[in-house]
Amino acid sequence: MHGTLSDQSLIYLQIAQMLEDDILRGVYREEEQVPSTNELARAYNINPATAAKGINLLVGDGVLYKRRGIGMFVSPGAGEKVLEKRRAAFYDSYVRPLVREGRSLKLSSQALLDMVAKAAQEGE
């Protein structure tokens, strides 16, 4: 378990995001067991119900699945599902607003693409 909780967002969402991050980094691979709600609750000093809510979010997304009596495990294809979800959120949170602002500034699609390409080169 990696990461620390902050006051920036709901705790159960942070738990889910930390588990997703660990899946993307390969800390938890497909078919590997993730920490239980009680382990998460102890590690982060939170209510087990809060930890369960974060885990259940990932179950609902198909990232984790339950083996009855054993615990929660990483689903096959979980990494790709997390990437897909985060790419969609990136599109909605950043790309669409960028295009809207570009239109309000009367930038052509090509001018906007040129700006993005320039920014990408500066970041390398």
Note whether 94 and 107 are same-domain residues. Answer: yes
pTM higher than the cut 0.95? no
Q: Which residues contact 92 (CB under 8 A, 6 or more apart)?
A: none
Same domain, 29 and 66: yes
Q: What is the pLDDT of residues 51-101, one digit of tens each?
A: 999 999 999 999 999 999 999 999 999 999 999 999 999 999 999 999 999
In-domain check, residue 69: yes
Q: Which domain holds residue 114?
A: 79-122
- Looking at the fold, whether 19 and 68 belong to one and the same domain comes out as yes
Coil, strand or helix at 66 = strand
Quick: pLDDT tens for 20-51: 999 999 999 999 999 999 999 999 999 999 99
- Looking at the structure, do residues 70 and 88 belong to the same domain, yes or no? no
Report DSSP state, residue 123. T
pLDDT surpasses 80 at 123: no
25 and 69 inside one domain = yes
Count of domains for the chain? 2
